Amino acid sequence: MASSMWEYANPTRFMQVSGRLLPWVAGAALVVTAAGLIWGFFFTPDDFRQGATVKIVFVHVPAAMMAINAWVMMLVASLIWIVRRHHVSALAAKAAAPVGVTMTAIALISGGIWGQPMWGTWWAWDPRLTAFLILFLFYLGYMALWAALDDPDTAADLTGVLCLVGSVFALMSRYAVNFWSQGLHQGASLSVQPGERMDIVFRMPLYVSMTGFGLIFVALVLIGVRTEIRARRMRALVMRERMA
């Protein structure tokens, strides 16, 4: 067992451990997500007002949750990179962004598909929708900055700073859009207060689906970091060949 979590910041150690973990995480992601979605789609009753469309919740909510969590994870990884300069951390932030932007897109699209029959519109400038669209733009900018810079350390530093500043502004935008428009969304559906939240029949498969989406995220980030480490090793080998 590692004596400290920072031991995994060593790329070799990370490759060993993540290589052993990855099949399990990926397998668990597959099983849990499938279980959550099948349970949610086929073994829950239709909502008395929304009918079967309510079942989009089992994709929509986990995707939206992971869209935000991926950004938070990028923020933490960027902070670790800036403070402790572990390369694996910077690469984890880089690998999380494409997954996060995809989750944001899934949340926006599934929300449109749900909104069409329920609210009668694909899109409304509702605060949560708008905040998600803005989050999508933040992801695009972050990824574009990574792609634009050649030197990996410069790119990691600059995207790290952008992630810190962007987080503050993303949060401010979230509350600014509240101020700007009244929403169509309901209040908290998973509140700990009994009475305000969804019924247990819907909540249990939703929790399973959320866990599944979380595992998918972890598996994809692990794959992304491992690919990036291999790509860097290859680049280093090519450089060494050229020098010789």
Partner 1 sequence: MIALLVRDLRIATRAGGGFGLGLAFFLILVVLVPLGVGPEADRLAPIAPGILWVGALLACLLSLDRIFALDYEDGSLDILATAPVPLEAVVALKALAHWITTGLPLTLAAPVLGVLMHLPREGYAWLVLSLAVGTPALSMIGAFGAALTVGLRRGGLLLSLLVLPLYVPTLIYGTEVVRRGAEGLATATPLLLLGGITAGAAGLLPFAAAAALRVNLR
Contacting residues toward partner 1, per CB under 8 A: 134, 137-138, 140-141, 144-145, 148-149, 154, 157-158, 161-162, 164-166, 169-170, 172-173, 176-177, 179-180
Q: Report the nearest approach of partner 1 to the CB of residue 7 (Å).
A: 27
Q: Report the nearest approach of partner 1 to the CB of residue 217 (Å).
A: 22
User: Smaller CB distance to partner 1: residue 166 or 212?
Assistant: 166
- Other Cβ atoms less than 10 A from the Cβ of 149: the count is 15
User: Smaller CB distance to partner 1: residue 116 or 154?
Assistant: 154
Helix, strand, or coil here: 1? Answer: coil
Looking at 11-160, which runs of residues are DSSP E strands?
none
Q: Report the nearest approach of partner 1 to the CB of residue 144 (Å).
A: 6
Instruction: Please give the Cα distance from 96 to 115 (Å, whole number).
Output: 28
* Rounded-to-5 percentages of helix, strand, coil across the chain: 80, 0, 20
Contact between residue 213 and residue 222 where contact means Cβ atoms under 8 Å apart: no
Q: Report the nearest approach of partner 1 to the CB of residue 231 (Å).
A: 22
Instruction: Please give the Cα distance from 201 to 204 (Å, whole number).
Output: 6
Q: Token match 């498969």: residue?
A: 205
Q: Report the nearest approach of partner 1 to the CB of residue 75 (Å).
A: 14
Q: Report the nearest approach of partner 1 to the CB of residue 243 (Å).
A: 22
User: Smaller CB distance to partner 1: residue 61 or 70?
Assistant: 70
User: Smaller CB distance to partner 1: residue 149 or 204?
Assistant: 149
Q: Report the nearest approach of partner 1 to the CB of residue 240 (Å).
A: 23
User: Smaller CB distance to partner 1: residue 79 or 204?
Assistant: 79
Task: Quote the DSSP letter at residue 45.
Answer: P
Contact between residue 78 and residue 159 where contact means Cβ atoms under 8 Å apart: yes
User: Smaller CB distance to partner 1: residue 122 or 180?
Assistant: 180
Instruction: Please give the Cα distance from 230 to 239 (Å, whole number).
Output: 14
User: Smaller CB distance to partner 1: residue 52 or 172?
Assistant: 172
Contacts for 124 with CB less than 8 Å, ≥ 6 apart: 115, 184
Task: Quote the DSSP letter at residue 182.
Answer: -
Q: Identify which of 66, 100, 75, 80 has the alpha carbon closest to the alpha carbon of residue 166.
A: 75
